[in-house]
Amino acid sequence: MIDVNEKKFYKVDDIVKKHGFKKMNLIAILQEIQGEYRYLPEEIMTYVATVMNLPLSHIFGVATFYSQFSLEPKGKYEIKICDGTACHVRGSEPIIKAVRNKLNLTKDKKTTDDLLFSLETVSCLGACGLAPVVVINDKVYPQMTPEKISKVIDDLKSLKKE
Amino acid sequence: MDKKACDKILYIDDKPFAIGNEKNLLEVIRNAGYDLPTFCYRSDLSVYGACRMCVVEIEGRGVQASCTVPPEPGMKVTINTEKTRRIRRMVIKLLLANHSKDCTTCSKSGECDLQEAASRLGITDIPFECEEKKHPLDTGNPAVIRDPNKCILCGACVRTCREIQGKSVLDFVYRGSNTIVSPAFKKNLDEVNCTFCGQCVAVCPTGALRIRSELDNFWKMVLDKNKKVVVQVAPAVRVAFGEAFGIKPGKNLIGMITAALRKVGVDKVFDTTFAADLTIMEEATEFVNMLKSKKDFPLLTSCCPAWVRHVEQKYPQFISHLSTCRSPQQMFGAVAKELLSKEYGIRREEICVVSVMPCTAKKSEARRKEFSVNSDPDVDVVLTTQELIKMVKAGNINFSALEPQEMDSPFGVFSGAGVIFGASGGVAEAALRTAYKLVTGEALGEIEIKPLRGLKSFKEFAVNIKGEVISVAVVNTLSQASKLLEDIAAHKVHYHLVEVMACPGGCIAGAGQPYSIDRMAIREGRLKGLYQDDVDSRIRVSYENEEVQKLYDKWLQNPNSEIAHQFLHTHYHNRKRITGEDIGLFRKGSEVLPKTTVCVCVGTSCYVHGSYDFIEAIMAKIRAEGLEDAVMVKATFCLQQCGHGPNIKIDDQIISHATVDRVSEIFDRYIRVKYKK
Amino acid sequence: MGRKIKNREEFADFKGAAFKNFVEHGARVLICSGTGCMANGAMDVYNVFLELKINVKFKNTEKDIALVKTGCRGFCENGVLVDIVDDGVTYVKVKKEDVAEIVESHLKNGQIVQRLLYHDPKTDSRVEKNKDINFYAKQKRTSLANCGHIDPESIGEYIFVGGYESLWDVLSKTPDEVCKTVSESGLRGRGGGGFPTGRKWEFVKNAEGKKKYVICNGDEGDPGAFMDRSIMEGDPHKLIEGMITAAYAVGADEGYIYVRAEYPLAVKRLRVAVKQAEEIGVLGVNIFGSDFSFKIKVKEGAGAFVCGEETALMASIEGERGMPKSKPPFPANKGLFGKPTLINNVETYSNVPLIMKNGAQWFRKLGSPKNPGTKTFALTGEINNSGLIEVPMGMTLREIVFDIGGGIRNGKKFKAVQIGGPSGGCLTEEHLDLPLEYETLIEVGAMVGSGGLVVLNEDTCMVEIARFFMHFTQNESCGKCVLCREGTKNMLKILEKIVEGKAQLSDLDLLEELALAVKDGSLCGLGKTAPNPVLSTLRYFRDEYLAHIIDKRCPAGVCSALKMIEIDEQLCKGCSKCARLCPVGAISGEIKKTYKIDQTKCIKCGACLTACPFKAIKEV
């Protein structure tokens, strides 16, 4: 049994209802559910398939197509490092390495064990003038360096302790 | 050439060709005598355009996949250019680099489209770094093996399952070079709503979807001196078997098949068609009894195991409409084991019943628990037509040198009505021939019911039987069947008898039949063969089958008798089609109070009947009563009572029709009692 | 608000009220709130201003200070940008700590704060008037005209600067006439292909069917491009006005704006704009009291570059996997939900109100004969003034890089410009005087694309750049057609071999052969253009490929696998620090004698490099 509380489950139903059970709103529905759970739990997708009368394989197919969706819980802080052209030529690679080292993450292990941080690289956040750019939970950190990002992570960690 | 004809001309390699009714340029090119290869194009599915093998150059439009281009007059098409040749060769090389390297031991070897294309294009090396994909095989079911390592992502299976069967068991998952074809959550086919109709296997150009072979088991039985091996051959097998030996589809080769089976050492060769006649006696009687008692119509046929499974999975409310008759395969198994063990004076287990079927779902049907006695199955081995062909080859038999032989008695006798079981509409036609006789005492005037024949996916017919107009619907493919059931449920249509076969055109197009790309023409041929066999038959109605009559006289008494029910009828189950975990709502359980668990079904049927409102109401009630620490509420999937939704389960007790207005009553009766001080 | 405008008088009243609002608010101080400036702390700057401006009168006049958050002004690297409109002064790199000084010195006393002015690296001087900043001086900002000058979340400001004016004219014409004007203007699709917009509109207008759709493609996924984002964030109403015009011309009553998920601010501002437009009757039933009705929905993507391809985008709107479909059928005949659909990109629609307002001939005078109008570009990379620019089509690369862009950063040498992102190609020194137009670029193996211009200097390895783009496209391939799915993967593998020094000459032939097959044979635009960066770098920088393959050397010194770390015999004092630090024991020697690196063991981690107290260890 997955660990979801009542409130969130109600939200799932509200979300589906709000979008009128329409297949064309499936992506928005999954986005909002991920907003609640920070990932897409299998049971919830099964529920959505049932109430929307869609094949489960379709929902799974959509959920695995778009890179925004995660089938595993993501960290409280989602670190997105831009690896678009501008960021790449201005040195995003060392930043990615630094974050992976610091948080003990790899290409395949994307979330820390304490579920505090997850890391993904994204292609172009459209803030090329500020390259290299890192985004953490929608906050943009411009002109990053391995040292600067390390400091940001430390700050977020201490925030948690408070 | 007159002006009008001129308008309908295009040019292929500078030569003019007339445009007919072709849906796309590829068909025009093929009709013009070119054999342009494709992996993803199937004339009966939507156009996908992904394999890029059928590329041509069109003047002014550059390189185009011809399957996606509507033919236009005046088009100037070139088939072989530097570009198209490079593309075709590159496609093969890229696919091979990414493909399992076990060609020689692959069961598809020799009929694999990828293998053939590579050979035709003279690909002798793969310049790319080869990688071994290591996806686990899906072998959890008796019918189909899914091997993603051999998948070239042509999507034919995905489209078949969606467009033909309306099931969407398979879909593309993940993206880019990580894409695979898979059921949801990468589950195995037996864990999802697959019916094992095998139509995905029938369109797979490689060995990615293949039939689970039971040949090893077959040989073991044949070579075991303590076993009596009894074979039954289904009607549709005989008109397709020859295709593997270069014989035109539709040619009836039952005599050759019988000879071949005897040659490898089976003890008896019988005909499933005999059991089809038996089925008709039972089913027509069931139908006539329904007419008499004015019971809820329609009666749904139950010969097709994929269809039966589909009803159990998706339309459990229609289970009571399914004919209780076992399919001919299972009637044969039950009868053969019972009678032959007595005749030979051996134990049931020592008889081995092998059936040869055009179908993959039959493999799954034979494994149903209802069809075994003390764990001994009525049918031990199910071979498909394809496996029979392989058996003949592996048995070192020179097929062309065989002399046709007669089948064994008594189960080798059959009527023409039984033969047409292999075609969509055949069961209904055969049933009507007998039902008419049973009600009126007279033979049906015109026994050939033409409106029910042919490859169309929906056919209907009405007949006046003693003043009552009896309407019959015949559908094939599960998408059509679903549509019809929904129309019936919505009272949009009404029928007395509904025949369903899951494969397009019926069993002749079963997934166990020889593989072919040009499927429409082949289906036509097989169909013609079956109906010709009906015409050529000595008897054409089931009630005239003297061996069937003898069976009743000696043993089964009458159709639908008690003993007939024991051996020839069955029952069905609601099948949970989602294997999902429950969703916990109230999480905490208290240390002191006894715990109660309330599971509320949120499956489709219960949901539409208001189970979600029930959750809200019961939780409000629990909270109001201050029992949220004691009662755990879960949302769950399918308590298998779909006809009576909403369903809930309190601890181990299932309560149906749990509507919102019953919340207080249910709470008082099942929950409050436990906590009364 | 809340009353729907039904005739010109009501519109004039509304505009009058907006004007009053605008003027009475006082001297405008614009704080750029585009994504770039927001990241640099624009909200903090705004809040400090908000606090300090109370009771402040502009330069001791009666004028209050009107604070306005605007969209992107394009000069992102210099954010936060603060504009004192009345004086034409732009302050750059403003931090919240600087606000007090601006208020005290400039707003109160009219003294310009010199240290916050833009510093021109060419002349080594501060630039007082923003019109003199080179970055802006050579631009022709039309579709970006309002970006950075009005509050994107205020429909009043948009109408005040002339917005929605053209709709009156449009609604009084026939759809044929509207299409004709667009055709005559010569506007071409700004999404990359350059297809004549007017002709596209005609197709949809003439397509059979009662229900038609208009879609705006805001799925700007090219890495290194953010033109559309800036328009959506900075001037959303202009885009909406363009879409309404298009819908009227083709006979559609429903529209979608598809925005990529990575642009949350654009999504928010578009939703605000749509709501405002609905409130005053610009969108909805009987627009401006006419018979014409049109509604717009904003749809968010979910992270798939391929959804920029129009058929994939439509699949995504329908709730499907974003996999492209073969064309034909074209969207104009069978698009969204199987209905005739017009699909254009953000910049294309944003040009429409200008054409409607100023006429086709005005538009034709901008740009060059075959390529009228302007084009926005995202100028980024190793350049001094990176940011968003808009120039007349046909401008040369030299003007863009050296005048507007201010030349290469840190005094380095220009090497190439990567144009058009992962579908584009590179332009080299020999192309500096090439006019930027659709045809000229295709001739040299590049394309306008959506307009990303990434400037590369001498330190860039072109093979690495090709590898980078191939990594991107193979990662974003939808996986449908064989050539794109498997072809890009294998091209990437070959490129990886090359940058690692493991390739042979035959690999280069194979790469080229494969690139051509993928280009000719792929199903959709993504696959067809994916080989462009490879083909283009092969064309202009073949010697760099050969250096990697034959000499096992990276001329730019970028590819780490081809680097060698050596100890300078002259400088080494034999302290043994490097040998002790080396994680793989590749360094050996005797104390006080020269140490040596065993190249077969060295993993090029660089630990010794930074550790050497005598700087004797170098990368070569």
| DSSP assignments along B413-430, one per residue | ---HHHHGGGSTTHHHHH
Report yes or no: A140 at the C interface, CB cutoff 8 Å: yes
Contact criterion met (CB < 8 Å) for C300 and A86: no
C382 interfacial to chain A (CB closer than 8 Å)? yes
Tell me how long chain C is: 620
Q: Which two tokens stand for residue C406?
A: 């201010």
C480 touches chain B (CB under 8 A): yes
Which pLDDT value is given to residue B58? Answer: 97
From first CA to last CA, the distance across chain C in angstroms is 69
Could C475 and A130 be called an inter-chain contact, meaning their C-beta atoms sit closer than 8 Å?
no
Contact indicator for A67, B178 with CB cutoff of 8 Å: no
Q: Work out the pLDDT band at B2, boundaries 50, 70, 90.
A: very low
- Among C338, C340, C307, smallest CA distance to C324 is for C307
DSSP state of B514: P
pLDDT score of A1: 38
Q: Which residues of B touch C513 (CB under 8 A)?
A: 86, 90
Report the pLDDT value the prediction gives residue C39, as an integer from 0 to 100: 82
Measured distance CA(C81)–CA(C74) in Å, rounded? 10
With CA atoms as reference, report the closest residue to B530 among B511, B515, B510, B549: B510
Smallest Cα distance from C201 to chain A, Å: 25
CA distance B408 to B411: 7
How high does pLDDT run on average in chain A?
87
Residue C418, chain A, CB below 8 Å: the answer is yes
Nearest chain B residue to C489 by CA: give it.
Answer: B177
Query: Can you tell me the distance from the alpha carbon of B619 to that of C572, in angstroms, rounded to the nearest whole number?
Result: 78
- Is position B303 annotated as part of the catalytic site? yes
Three-state DSSP at B224 gives: coil
Nearest Cα residue to B482 out of C507, A53, C457: A53
Distance between CA atoms of residues C131 and C116, nearest Å: 16
Reply yes or no on whether B362 is catalytic: yes
Annotation says B370 is catalytic: yes
Sequence-ordered strand ranges (E) for B135-223: 144-146, 171-173, 180-182, 209-211
Residues B388-418 have pLDDT tens digits of 999 999 999 998 899 999 999 889 899 999 9
CB within 8 Å: C302 and A83: no
Asked if B178 has any chain C CB less than 8 Å from its own CB, the reply is: yes
Tens of pLDDT, residues B250-294:
999 999 999 999 999 999 999 999 999 999 999 999 999 999 988
> What are the C-alpha distances in Å from C428 to residues B606, C380, C441?
66, 16, 12
What band does B351 get if pLDDT is binned at 50, 70 and 90? very high
Whether domain A77-161 has CATH 3.40.50.720: no
pLDDT exceeds 70 at position B184: yes
Interval C556-575: pLDDT, tens: 988 888 888 889 888 999 99
β-bridge partners, C408 = C383
Interface contacts (A, B; CB < 8 Å): 90
Average pLDDT over chain B reads 92
The domain B3-80: what is its CATH number?
Answer: 3.10.20.740
- How far apart are alpha carbons B407 and B275 in whole angstroms? 14
Nearest Cβ partner of C226 from A26, A128, A139?
Answer: A128
Q: Identify which of B219, B154, B145, B207 has the alpha carbon closest to the alpha carbon of residue B180.
A: B154
Q: Token pair for residue C193? A: 């292909």
- Tell me if C496 sits within 8 A of B128, measured CB to CB: no
User: Which residues of B are less than 8 Å from C522 in CB distance?
Assistant: 52
Pairing, β A77-82 against β A134-136: antiparallel
What confidence score (pLDDT) does residue B87 get?
A: 97
Greatest alpha-carbon pair distance for chain B in Å reads: 100
Predicted confidence band of residue C76 (pLDDT cuts 50, 70, 90): confident
Q: Which fold has domain B225-294+322-398+411-449+510-568?
A: Rossmann fold (3.40.50)
How far apart are alpha carbons C207 and C214 in whole angstroms? 13
Which distant-in-sequence residues (6+ apart) come within 8 Å of C9 by Cβ?
A: none
CA C257, CA C237: separation in Å to the nearest integer? Answer: 12
Give whole-number Cα distances, B383 to B364, B444, C201, in Å: 12, 36, 59
In B, residues 450-509, which contact C (CB 8 Å cutoff)?
none
Q: Residue B5 pLDDT more than 60?
A: no
Amino acid at B216: D
Q: Which residues contact C45 (CB under 8 A, 6 or more apart)?
A: C31, C80, C82, C94, C95, C96, C98, C99
Q: pLDDT tens-digit profile of C117-156?
A: 999 887 889 999 988 898 998 999 999 999 999 999 999 9
Between vectors from CA A159 to CA A158 and to CA A162, what angle results, nearest 5°?
90
pLDDT score at B586: 60
pLDDT band at B578, cuts 50/70/90? low
Name the token pair of B590.
Answer: 């208290």
Q: Which of B336, B325, B331, B263 is nearest to B299 (CA)?
A: B325
Contacts of C40 in chain A (CB under 8 A): 130, 142
B365 is catalytic: yes
Contact between A6 and B585 using a beta-carbon 8 Å cutoff: yes
Give percent above pLDDT 90 in chain C: 72
Q: List, in order of start, the domains of chain C with CATH numbers.
A: 23-132 (3.40.30.10), 155-364 (3.40.50.11540), 367-457 (3.10.20.600), 462-549 (1.20.1440.230), 564-619 (3.30.70.20)
Q: Mean pLDDT: which of A104-118, C34-48, C438-452, C537-551 is highest?
A: C537-551
Of C303, C460, C478, the CB nearest to A68: C303
B305-335 pLDDT tens trace: 999 999 998 888 899 999 999 999 999 999 9
C243 pLDDT above the threshold of 70:
yes
Q: Which one is catalytic: B57, B365, B499, B544?
A: B365
Of C77, C321, C468, the CB nearest to A62: C321
- Using the Cβ of C4 and the Cβ atoms of chain B, whether some distance falls under 8 Å is answered with no
pLDDT tens, residue by residue, C499-530 = 999 999 999 999 999 999 999 999 999 999 99
Q: Which residues of C touch B179 (CB under 8 A)?
A: 478-479, 485
List of residues 6+ apart from C3 with CB closer than 8 A: C10, C280
Mean pLDDT of A39-59: 91
CB pairs under 8 A between B and C: 102
CB contact under 8 A, A42 and B581: yes
Residue of higher predicted confidence among C455 and C34: C455
CB A99 within 8 A of CB A48: no
The string of DSSP codes covering B338-367 is: HHHHHHHT--GGGEEEEEEES-SHHHHHHT
3-class DSSP assignment, residue B522:
helix
Chain B residues whose beta carbon lies within 8 Å of the beta carbon of residue A55: 162, 167-169, 171, 184
Averaged pLDDT for residues A64-68: 94
pLDDT category at A13 given cuts 50, 70, 90 is confident
Share above pLDDT 70 across residues of chain C, in percent, rounded to a whole number: 100
Catalytic residue among B370, B546, B616, B665: B370
CA dist C57 and C73 (Å) reads: 26
- Closest CA–CA distance from residue C448 to any residue of chain B (Å): 21
Q: Distance from CA of residue B442 to its chain's centroid?
A: 36
Q: d(Cα B607, Cα B452) in Å, to the nearest integer?
A: 38
- Determine whether the interchain pair A46/B580 forms a contact, defined as Cβ–Cβ distance below 8 Å: yes
Q: What is the DSSP letter of B560?
A: T
Distances (CA, A) of B514 to B306, C386, C590: 19, 64, 77
Split at pLDDT 50, 70, 90, the class of A92 is: confident
- CA distances for B358 relative to B368, B512, B521, C176, C305, angstroms: 19, 4, 17, 60, 45
pLDDT greater at residue B512 or residue B625:
B512
Which sequence spans correspond to the domains of chain B? 3-80, 93-211, 225-294+322-398+411-449+510-568, 583-675
d(CA C376, CA C139): 10
Q: Is the C-alpha dihedral spanning B606, B609, B612, B618 positive or negative?
A: negative
Rounded distance between C-alpha atoms, residue B417 and residue B408, angstroms: 20
What region does B603 belong to: left with phi over 0, alpha with psi -120 to 50, or beta?
Answer: beta
Tell me the β-bridge partners of B497: B299, B472
Q: How many residues does chain B have?
A: 677
Chain A contact for B635 (CB, 8 A cutoff): yes
Please say whether the beta carbons of C81 and C73 come within 8 A: yes
The secondary element (H helix, E strand) that includes residue B263 is helix B254-264
* pLDDT value at residue C84: 94
Cβ–Cβ of C328/B70 closer than 8 Å? yes
Residue C407, pLDDT > 70, answer yes
- What number of helices (H) and strands (E) belong to chain A? 7, 4
Cβ-nearest to C514 among B90, B175, B176: B90
d(CA C328, CA C310): 12
Give yes or no for C483 touching B (CB within 8 A). Answer: yes
Task: For chain C, say whether B61 makes contact (Cβ under 8 Å).
Answer: no
Looking at residue B271, its pLDDT comes to 96
The distance between the two most distant Cα atoms of chain C, rounded to a whole number of Å, is 94
Tokens representing residue B432 in the block: 């009507």
List, in sequence order, the alpha helices (H) in A38-145: 42-52, 56-65, 85-89, 92-103
Q: Is B1's pLDDT higher than 50?
A: no
What was the pLDDT predicted at C1?
46
The domain B583-675: what is its CATH number? 3.40.30.10
Dihedral angle, C-alpha B292, B296, B298, B303, nearest 10 ° = -80
Cα(B243)–Cα(B381) distance, rounded to whole angstroms?
Answer: 23
The domain locations on chain A are 6-65, 77-161
